[in-house]
Structure 1
Amino acid sequence: MTRSVTDIWRHPIKSHGRESVASILLETGRMLPWDRTWAVAHEMSDADGSEWVSCRNFSIGSKTPELSAISARLDEATGRVTLAHPKRDDLTFDPDTEGEKLIAWTQGFIPDSRAQSARVVRGQERGFSDSDFPSVTLCNHASHRAVEEKIGHALSRHRWRGNLWFEGGTAWEEFDWMGKDVQIGEAVLHIRERTDRCLATHNNPDTGARDAQVLQTLDSFGHRDFSVRAEVIRGGRIAPSDEVKPL
C-alpha cells in the first residue's frame, strides 16, 4: 500500500488562521517552519514568548469559535501576515511590531465571559504547538472519512488544524505507528503520541460557528484523538506526492 502526502498546512499565528504551502524544508528537532510562530496571549496570562507554555495561556478556538474561520497568508520575506475572516475586512500587519492591530481586529470575537486577547507574542525558541516538544502532526484522510461516516455528514478537514495530510492508508493505522519512524520525502519523523482533541473541533472553519458534535463522535471509536504528533529526527524537503513510509 502506497501512502502519499496530499497537502501541507501551517498556522503562523496559533488559532488565528491556516495556510497551505507547496513544499517545506523540515529541520531536525524543529516544528514545521513558521507554524505557530506567534500566539495571542490573553489578559490573564504572563506568557512573553521566552519559553514554551501550554495553550491555556492563549486565545484559542476551543474558547472562541469565531477564530476558526480565519485564514492566513504569510510573507516570509517581510514577516508580515494577512488574515481573512468572513466578518472582517482583511488585515495585513507585522505580528512582531503591530500586534495591537490584531487585538483590535478580533475585538468582539472573544466572549465576554472569557479572558480577552491582550498581546501577540513570538516564540523565541520554538513555535507554540499543543505538545511540550516541537511537533509536526500527521493526518490521515481515511481516518477523517471514518469520522464523517460516523457523524453522518461531511466535515472540513480544517477542524483538525493539522500539518501534513496523507492518502492511501487505512483508518486509524497511524495510531499503530507509535514509537516508530516514518520517512516522508527526504525527512524522517519519529511518531511520539496521539493528538488529543478539544472543543475546537466543533467549530465550522468556514463560519466560525459550532455545528458538529465531533468529540462525541470520536467517543464512539473509544477515544478522543485524531492525527499523531511526530518529532523530526532527520531534516529534509517534503512536498505533495511524496511517499509516507513507516520504517
Structure 2
Amino acid sequence: MPRVVALFRHPIKGFTPERLNELTIQPDGRVAGDRVLAFRFADAATPDLRDGLDYWPKSKGLALQDFPALAALRLQYDQSALRVRLSHDEKLLVDASLDADGRAQLEAVVTEYVQDTADARRLQRTGRLPLRLVGDGERSRFQDRSRGYVTVHSTASVSALGDALQLPIDDRRFRSNVVIDGIGAGEELEWTGSIRIGEVTFEAAGPIIRCLATHANPDTGVRDAPVLTTLTGAMGLAEPALGRLLLLSGVSGDVDDRSGHGGVIRVGDEVVAV
C-alpha cells in the first residue's frame, strides 16, 4: 500500500524546507505555513492577476530557478512569533521579526548574501533592487501557480532519476509537500480522479513540469545535476515532469475560497485512489 514517507513545507518561497511529521491542509486547499513569505523585486511587490486570482510569478522575485545559491541558506521560521532566523555555514546571519524593522533587516541581509554569490548579476537588472519581503507570514499564497495546489512525488521517481544521472538525488531538490513510497517510478503521473491521503481527499491535477530549480543541490546551492535534460533524454519523457499537483476536492484553489474540507495528513498515512 502506498504511504506518505516525508512531508515538507517551505515558509519562504525559494528557501530551506521544513521537514514535518504532519501538514495541515487548509479549506482553501493549500498547506498551512507553506510559502507564506517571499522576497520580491522592487517593481513586483504586488501580485499579477491570472484566472481571476492573485499570482506571484517566480521570475519576479528570489527563487531557486534563477538564484540557486539560496539553497545553501538555512531557515528557521517561528510562525507563532512571526520570526525568521537565517544562517549560512553554521553562522547566524539574522534573527528578526516581521515588523517593519525586522523586515528591513531581513531584506538587507538577504540582499548582501545574494550579492556575494555568483547569482549577483541577476540583481543588477533594472527594477530589481531594493528587494521587498512580502506576505503576512500566515497566509499561504506564494506558490508557483495561482491556484496553489499541494505537490507530491514518489521516492521511486526520484530514485529512477538518480539512477539515470548516476548521482544521489535528494527529495528536497523537488520542493514537494508530500513524498510517498509504494508505487512505481512515474506512476503518480498517471493518476486520475480522486486521491485520498489519510483523511483528506484531493483531485489529481496536472503533472509538475520542472524548472532549473531542480538543478540546485539542496545543501550547497550549486547546480550539479542536469535534471531537465535527463528527464527528457535518458528517461524518455516528452516534458521534464516529476511529481503531481493535487487540488483539494471541492475548492478552486483561491486563497479566499474556504469551501473545501481540509484536514491533517501525516507521515505513514495511506495513499488511495478513490
TM-score, normalization: structure 2?
0.82
- In the alignment, what sits opposite 1:77? 80
- In the alignment, what sits opposite 2:120? 112
**Structure 1 SS opposite 2:160:** helix
1:109 maps to a residue whose letter is V
Structure having the higher Rg: 2
Cα shift at 1:90 = 4.5
Cα shift at 1:226 = 1.3
Deviation larger for 141-150 or 102-111: 102-111
- In the alignment, what sits opposite 2:151? 137
2:102 is equivalent to residue 86 of structure 1: no
Q: CA separation of 1:33/1:112 partners in 2, compared to 1, >3 Å: closer, same or farther?
A: same
Runs of 5+ consecutive residues of structure 2 not aligned to the other structure? 250-260
**Structure 2 SS opposite 1:182:** strand
2:189 is equivalent to residue 184 of structure 1: no
Residues 149-188 of structure 1 show CA distances to partners (whole Å, capped at 9, x for unaligned) of 111111121110110111111111111114x111111111
Cα shift at 1:88 = 4.6
Residues 131-164 of structure 1 show CA distances to partners (whole Å, capped at 9, x for unaligned) of 1202110111000001001111111211101101
Q: Is the contact made by 1:96 and 1:121 (CA closer than 8 Å) also made in structure 2?
A: no
Q: Is the contact made by 1:52 and 1:126 (CA closer than 8 Å) also made in structure 2?
A: no
2:250 is equivalent to residue 219 of structure 1: no
User: For the residues of structure 1 that align with 2:214 and 2:29, how far apart are their CA atoms?
Assistant: 25
2:168 is equivalent to residue 154 of structure 1: yes
- In the alignment, what sits opposite 2:60? 57
Q: Is the contact made by 2:55 and 2:145 (CA closer than 8 Å) also made in structure 1?
A: no
TM-score, normalization: structure 1?
0.91
Runs of 5+ consecutive residues of structure 1 not aligned to the other structure? none
- In the alignment, what sits opposite 1:127? 141
**Structure 1 SS opposite 2:267:** coil
User: For the residues of structure 2 that align with 1:79 and 1:137, how far apart are their CA atoms?
Assistant: 25
- In the alignment, what sits opposite 2:257? none
**Structure 2 SS opposite 1:105:** helix
Cα shift at 1:125 = 6.2
**Structure 2 SS opposite 1:109:** helix
Deviation larger for 212-221 or 145-154: 212-221
2:215 is equivalent to residue 202 of structure 1: yes
Q: Is the contact made by 1:73 and 1:82 (CA closer than 8 Å) also made in structure 2?
A: yes
User: For the residues of structure 1 that align with 2:145 and 2:11, how far apart are their CA atoms?
Assistant: 16
- In the alignment, what sits opposite 2:14? 15
Q: CA separation of 1:85/1:229 partners in 2, compared to 1, >3 Å: closer, same or farther?
A: farther
**Percentage identity across paired residues of the two chains:** 27
